[in-house]
Amino acid sequence: MRIPTRLVLLLASVPAIGVVAAPPQAPRDETAAIARTIEANYFDEERGRRIADELRAAAKRGEFDALTDPRDLAAALTSRLHPLDGHFRVGTTADARMPGTGPRQGPPPPGLAEHNPVAAAEVLGGNIGYLRLDHFADVARRDAPARQALDAALHQLSRTSAMIIDLRGGHGGSPTMVGYLVSAFVAPDADVYNVFHSRQGSHSEAPSERYAQPRTTVPLYVLTDAHDRSAAESFAYTLKNARRATLVGEATEGAANPGREFAAADGLVVFVPTASPLNPISHANWEGSGVTPNVATPAAKALDVALELAHKAAAHMPSR
């Protein structure tokens, strides 16, 4: 029997009774993989489990079901995780490196390990030394080009009446330079270095080899802005708590906990904080709060303010 065309179209338009569309599995599976990675690697095991459980619960509620594009899912997961820890980021494997994740403690981004970290080193009017840093490089080896460039800059500025170190706009790097540069301005036996705690143990940011001729009395000013994070913050936080430098500028971002990227799901990577610092003086760190300057001023004016302070301080220093 031939069924009329109108009846075929009418039947096709009637929804099948009892058939419910299954939720998209890819976003749920990928979110579950991210959750497992956080649970397995976050420095605080109990908190990592809570974060993972909350992420799994959100996925089960279908909050990510519509995000079938990996980039959209990565952005949504980052938005959820980043407020919980300033280093959390989710990206795609197509990313050369997730924006803003350049870890301050840990391997620097590809190509920066040996790159000259010194953006500028000059003697300004009034014999004020000015050192502007591009990033924090790996300077553990004496023969590392980055170490040689930093040593050359410090030597060039070694007879200045005051020093300004400009961290504004930093982009990440290595803990080896944090400790080494701090050692250029504190006594060799100073107990001021942050200690990082992880599931595997603890390690200090104190350098294995300290700067040979530290300037322990030169007036020192560090310029900060709201974009400074991780190692730049560690450097500023260490010197501030040691009362060895005056910080001028803006409060920093507040990303204290270093870590690394993990391939967590098909097409997705997650940066998980695997350690957390503890300062021997404050018995705390700067996660979430940032490093507050001693002299608050807009970042664009920080150099002018620091120069004024440096000139006044240099005028009261005993002549050589």
pLDDT at 10: 44
Instruction: Read off the pTM.
Output: 0.83
Q: Taking a C-beta distance cutoff of 8 angstroms, is the pair 105, 258 a contact? A: yes
- How far from each other are the two terminal CA atoms of the chain, in whole angstroms? 113
Residue 98, pLDDT above cutoff 50: no
Residue 1, pLDDT above cutoff 80: no
Domains and CATH numbers, the chain: 118-256+277-315 (3.90.226.10)
> What's the average model confidence in pLDDT over 189-216?
96
Q: How far, in Å, CA of 123 to CA of 142, rounded? A: 25
Q: Which residues contact 12 (CB under 8 A, 6 or more apart)?
A: none
| Predicted confidence band of residue 106 (pLDDT cuts 50, 70, 90) | very low
> In the predicted model, what is the mean pLDDT of the chain?
88
Residue 203, pLDDT above cutoff 80: yes
> What's the average model confidence in pLDDT over 46-64?
97
SS3 content of the chain, % helix, strand, coil (to 5): 30, 20, 50
Half-sphere exposure of residue 148, counting CA atoms within 13 Å on the CB side? 6
Q: How far, in Å, CA of 297 to CA of 233, rounded? A: 17
Residue 3 neighbours by CB distance under 10 Å: 8
pLDDT at 115: 81
> What's the average model confidence in pLDDT over 54-65?
96
| Predicted confidence band of residue 316 (pLDDT cuts 50, 70, 90) | confident
Element (H, E) at 154: helix 145-156
Residue 99, pLDDT above cutoff 50: no
Closest CA to 273 of 254, 292, 252: 254
The lowest-confidence range among 4-13, 242-251, 272-281 is 4-13
Q: How far, in Å, CA of 93 to CA of 71, rounded? A: 10
Residue 317, pLDDT above cutoff 50: yes
Closest CA to 307 of 122, 136, 158, 181: 122
The predicted-structure confidence for 146-176, as pLDDT tens digits, reads as follows 999 999 999 999 999 999 999 998 767 899 9
